[in-house]
Structure 1
Amino acid sequence: MHYDFDVPREARSLPHNPLKAIVAPRPIGWISAMDGQGRLNLAPYSFFNAVADNMVAFSSSGRKDAMTFAEEGREFVCSLATWDLRDGMNDSSAPLPRGENEFAFAGLETAPSRKVRPPRVAASPAALECRWLQTVPLVPLDGGEPDNFLVIGQVVSIYVDARFVADGMVDTAAMHPIMRGGYFDYFHATADTRFRMRRPKGAGEFTGS
């Protein structure tokens, strides 16, 4: 079976685009940002990831508030979405009018960041404070107007709840992060699903940097 983007939607082999189900599970960037007027926005993005050891990026379909607020304020924060916060994360994705506070709508408390103005989700066990670097329009093959935009930020400070640090390392599984799948699916990381492998000889060992 092949799913072909070049044929009309009604003629494709599947009723829904399978990409999100295949490129999964995906980290969720729970982005908080503040516009030039000091208004807050909070929204989850599943097209999100680390792109360097001190940089992250999320992709916005359309010029949504998280992107435009990050550009105006030149800062944003990525709070970790976890099993305990799954309902709040989902509620914060509601399409509210521009400037309406998703923290309040979802019943989530804020906590001040250390180096940037946008706050983090107080109950989240970890957060990345970022300064906006650039927004890259993702121009399609036909050269038409872009519908998607890649927002890149440099991480300038990281908050981690000390309860989830052991022997100088963050215990990711203990925080129970959730990740996005296709359709209505999510995945839940726990210690039971974790496994480890050493790198091949000559590939280098973990140095802690």
Structure 2
Amino acid sequence: MFYEPAKGHGLPHDPSKAIVAPRPIGWISTIALNGDVNLAPYSFFNAFSTNPFLVWFSSEGEKDSASFARETGEFVVNLVGRAVVEQMNRSAVDAPRGVNEFAYAGLTPAPSRLVAPPRVAEAPAALECKVTEILRPKALDGSDAGVFVVTGEVVGVHIDDAMLTDGLFDAVKAGNVARLGYMDYSMVNETFAMRRPRWDKD
């Protein structure tokens, strides 16, 4: 089949998120200037640079995570692993502003080293970030897409030592969770390795 997104697809549900998948989950913790703490998962999330180590998450509408990050210039990305997937889902509740999702989901806020927002103590890894810019993408017709893309530089990294195997972060041990389409998720249960080929000029 072929369809144009602006004209509809004729399927029972929009397949766009199922096609662009799996997507890593940015479990974003932030704190407002007044001290309110927020924790929410974002499936529009990824890293896009190693040096500097830059990550971003995208909020459809300026939700608490984006507005708190704008206020304070900081956020933490907590990795969603096998052991915390239920709590991650619970923290996605559409709670009113000011509700602490750490408490609601039964999670432990742990102090960060270099930023104010707490991290999830139970997460297998966490990235402390400082905001570098907030982008407002446009649609093809030039109109505001209603999206807030929060970009941050990672200034500190926490790794649970139990997730290291021979000095390497073990995604299978952590059970990294990713978002698919519809109500579906996936989890890393196995990996395989391939070396990138090098062009032999000789």
Q: TM-score, normalised by structure 2?
A: 0.94
1:97 is aligned to 96
CA drift at 1:16: 2.2
CA drift at 1:202: 4.1
- RMSD over aligned CA atoms reads 1.3
For residue 69 of structure 2, give the secondary structure of its aligned residue in structure 1.
Answer: helix
Tell me if the contact between 1:2 and 1:13 (Cα under 8 Å) persists in the aligned partners. Answer: no
1:19 is aligned to 16
2:134 is aligned to 135
Matched residue count = 198
2:122 is aligned to 123
The answer as to 2:36 corresponding to 1:36 is no
For residue 6 of structure 1, give the secondary structure of its aligned residue in structure 2.
Answer: helix
For residue 6 of structure 2, give the secondary structure of its aligned residue in structure 1.
Answer: coil
Q: 1:108-146: CA deviations, max 9, x gaps?
A: 111111110101111111000000111100111112233
Identity %: 48
The residue type equivalent to 2:153 in the other structure is Q
The residue type equivalent to 2:174 in the other structure is M
Matches within 5 A, 1:32-181: 32-53=29-50, 54-181=53-180
CA drift at 1:166: 3.0
Distance in 2 of aligned mates of 1:172 and 1:188:
9
Distance in 2 of aligned mates of 1:120 and 1:202:
43
Q: Which runs of 5 or more structure 2 residues have no equivalent in the other structure? A: none
CA drift at 1:73: 1.1
User: Segments of 4+ in structure 1 off by > 3 A?
Assistant: none
Distance in 1 of aligned mates of 2:138 and 2:199:
40
Distance in 1 of aligned mates of 2:45 and 2:122:
21
Q: TM-score, normalised by structure 1?
A: 0.91
